Amino acid sequence: MLVLLAGALSATAAAQGRATAGESPFFEELPTVLSASRLPQVLHEAPGAVTILDRDFIRATGYRDVARLLRLVPGMQIGQERGHGQWVTYHGLGSDFPTEIQVLIDGRSVYAPSSFGGVDWSGLALTVDEIERIEVVRGTNSNAFGANAFLGVINIITRHSQQDRGSRGQVNLGNHGIADVQAVWSGGSDDLGVRISAVQTRDNGFSGVNDSRHSQVLSLRSDYRLDARNELTLRAGYNKGERGQGYPDSIFDNNAVRTMGSADYSLHLTWRHTAGEDEEWLASLYHNRESGTDNWQANGAANGRQFLNVPLSRSGTNTRSNAELQHRFALNPQARLVWGLEARQDESDALPLFASGNPPPHELYRAFSNLDWRLTPAWQLNLGALVEKNGAAATQFIPRAFVNWQASATNTFRAGYSRAWQQRNLFEVYGDVRAYDPKGAPGALPIAWPYAPNPNLRIPHVDTIELGYLGRFPSMDATLDVRVFNERISDFVIRRRTSAPGPLASDALPLPISQFTNLDSAVELRGIEYQLRTRPWSGGELLLSHTLIDRRMKDEEIRERTSPYSASLTWLQSYPAGWTSTASLLRMGQLAGGYGYVPGCETTSKPYTTLDLRIARAFRFEGRKAEVALNGINLGGPHQEIADRSEQCLPAHRGKPVNPASSMVWMSIAIEL
């Protein structure tokens, strides 16, 4: 396929000549990315495919949530089981709490390996307004950011506090109880910048689903220039919220209607020392703390016994402390190197999830290095390696090699191989969830045991081979990025039924006992994805993303956890007198997100197409910049994105989605104060 693409472009390449990047002002317009190798690289030099969502694009969408922005990135498969619940994956496959992609905020990992793992997108101590850009590395990047960059990296980069000084306020009001208030202040001196952002978010979620949310976020960033070569950056964030959970008719009330509370905070300190034009030291310390309160009671009858007011809980607290040192420098005019060390400790205090006792603190140590070597003006080599000691697991070596060929000033081809290992979260290894009859005698056997631990769980690994193309077409003001991939995963983790240990008979339990185990066959994904960005007329911009995946695996349940196709088309348009509009058409194929362990029942959400719209007008009010906008999402009609399988499989809901996504419309008013 890539050979055919090369042939189709050969005439264009010949006409445009064989100029190198240094001779082409057109290539100077390409953005510089930081997330592919930890080295600043112009996009055509990066070892892999990278999508960038910049500040202007993010603001033009009007989205209230970071995760919805990612639907516009090729390969991303995202869905919502409820209004505040985001299932974010690259190429699907994720569990109920996906762990296959690393998520960073200014280099700080917000992926939580403790408890259930994954990323709590509604609990991020971050506001959309403070994002400078989002870089999405599409494909394995573990050699740069460790085991959890298994299939890719999402790096959210916030705006420097010296930019956009002043104050700004915004209000969102709409249907489904949407009522958001935001205030931002930024100030300081020549050497000191401070930005404080405060946001309150409130809505009632999807119609007919108990998924309301009410959250408050406070975020601070401060940058202090000590001298011409040294800068300190402090980031702090706090997110407190309440969210509706559960369904009124869940079996045995195993997922009863309730309200959970969360409180998350982070503290991140960075020192940057610029030793020279091509040399920099970076030291980073951060601490994350996530806590949740989620308690309810179950009631039901099974095996001739009735159970009343059985206490169930998912409450717990997880902490992470991390230290990192990084050094990048030029070996010579043609080669640059970055190396670094990182140490981390994760702890989980969640006895409802670990009935046999909280797991021991989880320690991680890693050393990494990446080399960017321009062999000739047209050929570039990227080599990377990471050595990681992850808890009790054996030390892992993670390599990557990429070759980029700049065929002409506007055409670059790349080919690469990488291997990655995936960190297992503590719950998959030590998770031990039991329910006891509150009237039972001390030492009584559990009446339900939905999760049993598996200390013998093996670590999955993926081998990725990919080919890519990045082309610029000046006559159309267009950029085309293509990725052809083969991702083969061994020891993929699944949830399966198991026998009850000890004296407890499995048939005495009202629900089957399960544990996480390794699939005995490989999971292989082959496909192509591309992104076309063009400005075909004055004031207009189009962004097209499309992904096709051939799912090769023996297990049908795993197969359905990846959609065979997804696509999005976004049109941004500027008009006279300050008017702008944004329209995004989103298409997703059939998908069964998460593991949703329900023996004897399989449910897959049907393909759907939906539409997001925004129209806005910028103006001045008493000399101050202001904007009024009308926003809408899910305007393509009711559709189901991710099903709660145990709920969807109840006889009353067969053939009818229990949680269709609702259309949401709101008015936003923003003004500089």
Q: What would the DSSP string read from start to end of 201-231?
A: EEE--STTSS--EEEEEEEEEEEEE-SSSEE
Closest to 238 measured CA to CA, from 260, 214, 211, 262: 262
| pLDDT for 26 | 43
The strands making up 152-158's β-sheet, listed across from edge to edge, are 49-54, 131-138, 152-158, 102-105, 108-109
What does the block give as tokens for 61?
């969408």
Q: Give the separation between CA 426 and CA 432, rounded to whole angstroms.
A: 11
The answer to whether the beta carbons of residues 604 and 567 sit under 8 Å apart is no
What are the residues whose beta carbons fall under 8 Å from the beta carbon of 481, sequence distance 6 or more?
A: 49, 51, 74, 468, 469, 470, 530, 531, 532
Q: Indicate the SS3 state at residue 137.
A: strand
Full set of structural domains in the chain with CATH? 2-672 (2.40.170.20)
Beta strands in 68-110 (DSSP E): 76-82, 85-90, 102-105, 108-109
| pLDDT for 600 | 66
539: left (phi over 0), alpha (psi -120 to 50) or beta: left
What are the residues whose beta carbons fall under 8 Å from the beta carbon of 435, sequence distance 6 or more?
A: 298, 310, 311, 312, 446, 447, 448, 449, 450
What are the residues whose beta carbons fall under 8 Å from the beta carbon of 277, sequence distance 6 or more?
A: none
| pLDDT for 117 | 78
| pLDDT for 566 | 98
| pLDDT for 586 | 98
Residue 65, Cβ neighbours under 10 Å: how many? 17
Q: Residue 83 class from Cβ within 10 Å (0-12 exposed, 13-18 middle, 19+ buried)?
A: buried
Distances (CA, A) of 174 to 15, 26, 66, 171, 226: 53, 43, 19, 10, 46
591: left (phi over 0), alpha (psi -120 to 50) or beta: beta
pTM for the structure as a whole = 0.92
Per the listing, tokens 């982070």 go with 266
Q: Give the separation between CA 156 and CA 144, rounded to whole angstroms.
A: 16
How many residues would you count in the chain? 673
What does the block give as tokens for 354?
């670990």
Q: Which stretches in the chain have pLDDT values below 50?
A: 1-28
